[in-house]
Structures are given as C-alpha cells and as structure tokens.
Amino acid sequence: MDKKEYIEREKIRGILHSIINDSNCPMYMLQVYDQMLDHIPAADVQEVRRGKWLYEYKSGTPIKEGVVSSCCDMWNNYRTNFCPHCGARMDGEEK
Ligand SMILES: [Zn+2]
C-alpha cells in the first residue's frame, strides 16, 4: 500500500536554494525549481496537535481525579491516547 508523505514547501525551497548556490549550477535552474515548487498543489492535511495529560488546569487549580489536557485545558476522567475534546495526540510532546 502506498504511504503518503507530506513535505513543507518552504523547507524544500531552502534545501534547493542551498544546493543551487553551488557556482557550477546554472542560475536558470533555480527559477525552474522555484516555479515547480509553486505549482505543486498543497495537500489538505491537518497538523497533528500534541499534548500531555496533566493533574492541574492551566490556571494552576489542581484536580482531585482524572486528568487535564495540556492542549485545550479540558478535563477527562482517564488518560487516553487522543484528547476526546481537541483531538490532540497525547504522547507527552508539546508542540
Ligand atoms: Zn484537548
């Protein structure tokens, strides 16, 4: 099965520009690559939100039971892999 991967246009542009800065590379190639990048359609993807379960609200108010999402500050009665309120992936990394 095909696994789709998504890349960031500006990251690729930056990499290409650093490669093409080589004096052996003809300058018109840079314009070709630039135009090519601009014509690749953007994928309809959502950035994955990440968070972790906490034992207090953002206000600092501690909770007696359950956990609180670091992303949306909503209470849940137990830890889940994804926050049922905001959909964040709860693997501990905040982004
Ligand atoms: Zn949440």
Identify the three-state secondary structure at position 27.
coil
- Residue 70: alpha-carbon gap to chain centroid: 16
Looking at residue 93, its pLDDT comes to 60
* Mean pLDDT along residues 20-48: 78
Instruction: Find all residues with CB under 8 Å of 92, minimum gap 6, and list them.
Output: 50, 52
More confident residue, 21 or 66: 66
CA of 87 to the centre of ligand 1 (A): 6
CA of 61 to the centre of ligand 1 (A): 17
CA of 62 to the centre of ligand 1 (A): 17
* Mean pLDDT along residues 58-83: 95
Using one digit for the tens of pLDDT, what is the confidence trace for 6-29? 888 888 888 888 877 766 667 677
Distance CA 34, CA 11 (A): 12
Distance CA 70, CA 59 (A): 11
> Given pLDDT bands bounded at 50, 70 and 90, which one contains residue 1?
low
CA of 24 to the centre of ligand 1 (A): 51
pTM: 0.55
> Given pLDDT bands bounded at 50, 70 and 90, which one contains residue 51?
very high
Looking at residue 25, its pLDDT comes to 67
Distance CA 82, CA 53 (A): 10
